[in-house]
Amino acid sequence: MLATLDRIDPHSDRIDMLVALVEQLRPAKLPGAEEASIRIQTLCQLLAGHPQQAAGLRNYLARLLDSRRHASLYTDIGILSNDGFFTELKRRISYRFLPPALGDVYLNDAIDQVLYVNTDYQWINAVPVADWIALYAAIAAAPALPEALAAKPRRTALLGMLEAIRTLSCRVCALGLEPRLIRSHADIENFDSPFLMQNIEVNDYLDGYQRMLAGDGAAPEDARHLLVMLDQCSGVIDKVRKNAAAQGTSVALTYLLLALAQSIERLRKLLFLVDVSGELPAAPTLDLETVAMEATPASCPPTSLRVAGAIALAQELVEAHNHKYAVRDLFADNIDLLARNVTENASRTGEHYIADTRGELGRMFLSSAGAGVVVGLMALIKILMATLRAAPLVEAFLFSMNYSFGFMLIHMFHFTIATKQPAMTASRIASGLSSKDGRNIDLDSMAELINKVFRTQCIAVLGNLATVLPMAWLIATLWAGVTGSHLVTRAKAAHLLHDIDPLHSLALFYAAIAGVCLFVAGLISGYYDNKAVYTQMAQRVTQLRALARLLGAARLQRLALYVENNLGGLMGNLVFGILLGTIGTLGYLLGLPLDIRHVTFSAANFATAYVALDGVMSWQLALTSVGGFLAIGAVNLLVSFALALWVALRARKIRFKQGMSLVRAMGRRFVAAPLDFFIGPKQSRSDLSDLVPSRGIK
């Protein structure tokens, strides 16, 4: 390390010497907090014991900082660009393969050259702030070059921050007046926009600051009034995010809100660093006073606070710089709110898939039975389509349309496919896990909800099977009676039975693929429900004049409301049908083991094969086949439910760790009322405190 200090030229602004010095500080293993801290302390001791090398390092860093432009470092790193989500995504992907060219003009390019390891932020953040402040003090205490030769890094950095404040303020003003934001919060048009007013205040503040630097005026007032305007801007952002739960949202709006919030937060931190009054509070995200007190226990002057604030900002910039091409971070930052609204819509839809009383369970059984009849007809049509021997892509299209129109018909008739429930009910359970105070969850109420979901899904599966089996059997029997030949040959019947064999085929693996398709269909359904609300679909449909002349105003209004309320369900069923119809063909074309198994169609195929074999089937084969389609149903439900619950919990940022306590609560419910556990109570009961005591835990 001392040899590296000896090679530093105080009159040079080349970056290679700083790169070499940082390589001496970088620990061998991450996070390496102790090792990095020891190396920082060693550097401080070397600077204290070798004044000449300390002076060389100070003047080298001063010249390096003075030769670079600073503003873009504060306005670009850690803040989303104005290009939009998909343009930013494309940029990050392309730069991961071929990074942009680096120059000697901007300070952020210097960081790119010095901290070239993407994990550098880990050890930099792990080093105690006290060590960084000690290093700063050791460098600052070193002798400087004569005035004629010395660089002016402090003035360069200050001017860079002032320029960044002006740029960020203009950016906040422009983003705050975007039409999509105004549409989500119309009060911006009725009152003075805080986004516009903060820009006016910032320009006045910076003009006064420039006069002070030029020696033409006194120091400007502190920027407390600016912080008030920024608080109002943050308040608008919070209101728009809350309104998104009812009005829907979009990727573009979510991206806009995040870019605004990041710009406002950076403005707060820069205003604190350039403040000359010493009385401006720090950004609310960092307790700088505590940090500075830990670094300097004896006293805490404003300069210590400012150094601590600068170090905190530097650590933030380094971490953001290391992640600036991370695609995962872009998705994590932007998709959370959209996923929350998608799953929120799925949660509201999931209310219709949860039966409370025995009467509601009976209605769910009838609804599921109706779906079983339609699936029996869909299975017949698919078998007939397969006899056409069409080209693979044509056959995939025919199968997809059969599935899609069939599922959409089931939705329009208000019937229920059992496997469509998990993607909806999982979101409902996740919303139940999101407690009002963010800490306590009523596990007994949660157990009641899960119990309702469990028995409702069981009844729905039974309803589907209760009609699809006799319907498929009846169709196959009538076909044989009318045409004189079976719907499928004996070889085809054997193939259908092999396809649902859980032991000697990939039936359960294909059932898991179908579960993923069900999960995707649930997301699509929630997405379009959100889109229908956000884009005011009903109003747009009623504005179609040609359709109004054809249907009349009253019918068009009913159609518009139906489209807005059912767009998600229709699109989810359409996509689900396309997925089921194309995955098998995709696997055939790619030579991969890809196919789907769905419980209701597997049950229909079993009944069709049974008729084709003239009812001659060993009990072992019958047991294996029945167990096969039941196992397929269980895998369908489990996979789709697990994926939907995982996404719903992630969207709500819930970390649920009381699994065993919830299982015990379920056990108490079963012991208290075993019959009600499976078939539900006769009447709805919102409060079960008379059965088991309510127990909320942290």
pLDDT digits (tens, 9 = 90+) for 172-204: 999 888 888 887 777 776 677 889 889 998 998
Cα–Cα distances in angstroms (integers) from residue 377 to residues 407, 466, 467, 470, 600, in the given order: 12, 15, 11, 12, 11
Mean pLDDT throughout 468-489? Answer: 93
- Identity of the residue numbered 207: D
Percent of the chain with pLDDT over 70: 83
Q: Nearest CA to 106 among 60, 77, 73?
A: 73
Instruction: Report d(CA 546, CA 528) in Å as an integer.
Output: 25
Give the pLDDT confidence score for residue 491 in this predicted structure. Answer: 93
pLDDT tens-digit readout, 75-92: 988 888 877 777 888 888
pLDDT tens-digit readout, 560-588: 999 988 888 899 899 999 999 999 999 99
pLDDT tens-digit readout, 618-638: 999 999 999 999 999 999 888
- Residue 487 scores a pLDDT above 70: yes
DSSP state of 32: -
Lowest mean pLDDT of 112-116, 217-221, 419-423, 435-439, name the range: 435-439
- Residue 279 scores a pLDDT above 50: yes
Helices (H), 281-350: 288-295, 302-322, 327-350
Task: Determine the Cα angle at 643 with ends 407 and 419, to 5°.
Answer: 30
- Give the 3-state secondary structure of residue 319: helix
DSSP state of 442: E
Give the pLDDT confidence score for residue 301 in this predicted structure. Answer: 43
- Yes or no: say if 327 and 93 are a contact pair by the CB < 8 Å rule: yes
Residue indicated by tokens 């063909």: 585
pLDDT tens-digit readout, 663-694: 777 777 777 777 777 676 776 554 444 444 43
Position with higher pLDDT, 674 vs 162: 162
Instruction: Report d(CA 571, CA 527) in Å as an integer.
Output: 9
Lowest mean pLDDT of 228-242, 261-275, 310-324, 522-536, name the range: 522-536
- Residue 267 scores a pLDDT above 90: yes
Instruction: Report d(CA 411, CA 391) in Å as an integer.
Output: 30
Q: Nearest CA to 125 among 27, 42, 43?
A: 27
Q: Which helix (H) or strand (E) holds 403?
A: helix 392-412
Give the pLDDT confidence score for residue 284 in this predicted structure. Answer: 57
Q: Cα 67 to the chain's mean position, in Å?
A: 41
- Yes or no: say if 349 and 424 are a contact pair by the CB < 8 Å rule: yes
Mean pLDDT throughout 163-168? Answer: 93
- Yes or no: say if 338 and 249 are a contact pair by the CB < 8 Å rule: yes
Give the pLDDT confidence score for residue 441 in this predicted structure. Answer: 59
Residue 458: which pLDDT band, with cuts at 50, 70 and 90? confident
Residue 306: which pLDDT band, with cuts at 50, 70 and 90? confident
Give the pLDDT confidence score for residue 422 in this predicted structure. Answer: 57
Position with higher pLDDT, 454 vs 637: 637
Give the pLDDT confidence score for residue 685 in this predicted structure. Answer: 53
Phi, psi of 697 (to 5 degrees): -130, 165
Position with higher pLDDT, 255 vs 305: 255
Residue 298: which pLDDT band, with cuts at 50, 70 and 90? very low
Mean pLDDT throughout 613-617? Answer: 90
- Residue 396 scores a pLDDT above 90: yes
Residue indicated by tokens 């940082």: 22
- Identity of the residue numbered 622: A
Mean pLDDT throughout 21-41? Answer: 84
- Residue 300 scores a pLDDT above 50: no
Average pLDDT, the chain: 82
pLDDT tens-digit readout, 545-562: 998 899 898 999 999 999
pLDDT tens-digit readout, 643-666: 877 776 666 666 666 667 767 777
Q: Which helix (H) or strand (E) holds 441?
A: strand 441-442
Lowest mean pLDDT of 4-18, 117-131, 333-347, 470-484, name the range: 333-347
Give the pLDDT confidence score for residue 597 in this predicted structure. Answer: 93
- Residue 333 scores a pLDDT above 70: no
Mean pLDDT throughout 523-534? Answer: 81
Q: Which helix (H) or strand (E) holds 696?
A: strand 696-697
- Yes or no: say if 4 and 22 are a contact pair by the CB < 8 Å rule: no
DSSP state of 106: B
Give the pLDDT confidence score for residue 155 in this predicted structure. Answer: 82
Give the pLDDT confidence score for residue 624 in this predicted structure. Answer: 95
Mean pLDDT throughout 323-337? Answer: 73
Most confident by average pLDDT, 100-104, 220-224, 453-457, 644-648: 100-104
Q: Nearest CA to 501 among 621, 362, 671?
A: 621
- The CB density around residue 182, as the number of other CB atoms within 10 Å, is 15
Residue 230 has which token pair?
């920024």
Most confident by average pLDDT, 82-96, 212-226, 379-393: 379-393
Give the pLDDT confidence score for residue 147 in this predicted structure. Answer: 58
Give the pLDDT confidence score for residue 497 in this predicted structure. Answer: 94
Residue 394: which pLDDT band, with cuts at 50, 70 and 90? very high
- The CB density around residue 474, as the number of other CB atoms within 10 Å, is 13
Position with higher pLDDT, 112 vs 669: 112
Phi, psi of 55 (to 5 degrees): -65, -40
